[in-house]
Amino acid sequence: MTKLLAISARLFIAVSLLFIFNINFIFAETQFEKGLKATAEGTGHAEMAGLKDKTPAELIGQAVNGVLAFLGVIFLMLMIYGGYLWMTAAGNEQQVEKAKGVIKDAVIGLIVVLAAYGITYTIYNFLPN
């Protein structure tokens, strides 16, 4: 059963990485945005459409959001793993303590990630545009 859980966790992480760290999604324009940008520039309304090139700060912000999203996925997986350990403990106190430790560590990690996000968001808002 633990082998199946390990395989499922690895598959879940791999699929999450495909969606979260898709470089084309983070840094490139979609085909729709390219067509919209060309049309707006052709009519002289590129600034009104909000279709300016992304600044390095915006790119870094998107990358930070991707990393934080991935850490959220890891938190969810740790909570599920801790709950699984606790539910399958069957009275084994060592396994219950291990499950409590996993859940406690996951919550502490979530607090650290949320604090990092808060600090990043605050610093980004104080930077000049």
Cα(47)–Cα(68) distance, rounded to whole angstroms? 30
- Max mean pLDDT among 19-23, 106-110, 113-117, 125-129 falls in 106-110
Q: What is the DSSP string of the chain?
A: -HHHHHHHHHHHHHHHHHHHT-HHHHHSPPHHHHHHHHHHHHHT-TTTTT-PPPPHHHHHHHHHHHHHHHHHHHHHHHHHHHHHHHHT-TT-HHHHHHHHHHHHHHHHHHHHHHHHHHHHHHHHHHS--
pLDDT of 93 higher than 80? yes
Residue-wise pLDDT for 35-75, tens only, equals: 777 777 777 666 655 556 677 777 777 777 778 888 888 89
> Which residue's structure tokens are 């598959």?
11
Cα(60)–Cα(127) distance, rounded to whole angstroms? 13
pLDDT of 114 higher than 80? yes
Residue-range domain boundaries for the chain = 2-19+54-126
Inter-CA distances, 95 with 56, 89, 102, 103, Å: 47, 6, 10, 12
Cα(63)–Cα(28) distance, rounded to whole angstroms? 13
- Total-model pTM: 0.58
